[in-house]
Amino acid sequence: MFSKIMVPVDLKHLDRMQKSLQAAADLARLYSATVCYVGVTSAEPSELGHGPGEVADRLADLTKTEAAKHGHGGASHLVISHDPTTELDKALHETVGEIGADLVIMATHIPNVTDYIWASHGGSLALHSRASVMLVRG
């Protein structure tokens, strides 16, 4: 049913993503799918590294760890964005097509009042993507 599962990850908040990572691993095993862990970062230094190369290494380490732990195929894909905060929705939407994902599994927050004004990243992706989107409450 699914062959490539995209999982957007925020390397700063992996502790809040355990349910979505587990859901992706379970579905990957069920359908013999590959999980592609996607990160979005800027070219500027951050707490994740001095540049995109270090962030890519951290994302690759996460991919290896998750694939080995859960027994599924894994890939990583880092998107370099001028302003990840404002361009995240567009970057994720474009990445779905670039990597050929047919399912996106995203961690999400409990809805609050601002969601009535601005759509969540997962909600935006679900509205505009050809891929199925599963939002997992943390």
More confident residue, 49 or 133: 133
Q: Which strands form 132-137's sheet, in the order they lie side by side?
A: 73-80, 34-41, 4-8, 103-108, 132-137
Rounded to whole angstroms, the maximal C-alpha distance in the chain is 40
Q: Convert the pLDDT of each residue in 66-112 to its tens digit.
A: 999 999 999 999 999 998 888 999 999 999 999 999 999 999 855 55
φ, ψ of residue 56 to 5 degrees: the values are -60, -40
Please report how many Cα atoms fall inside a 13 Å half-sphere around the Cα of residue 6, on the Cβ side: 28
Q: Check pLDDT > 70 for residue 113.
A: no
Taking the whole predicted model, whether its pTM rises above 0.85 is answered as yes
| CATH homologous superfamily for the domain 4-137 | HUPs (3.40.50.620)
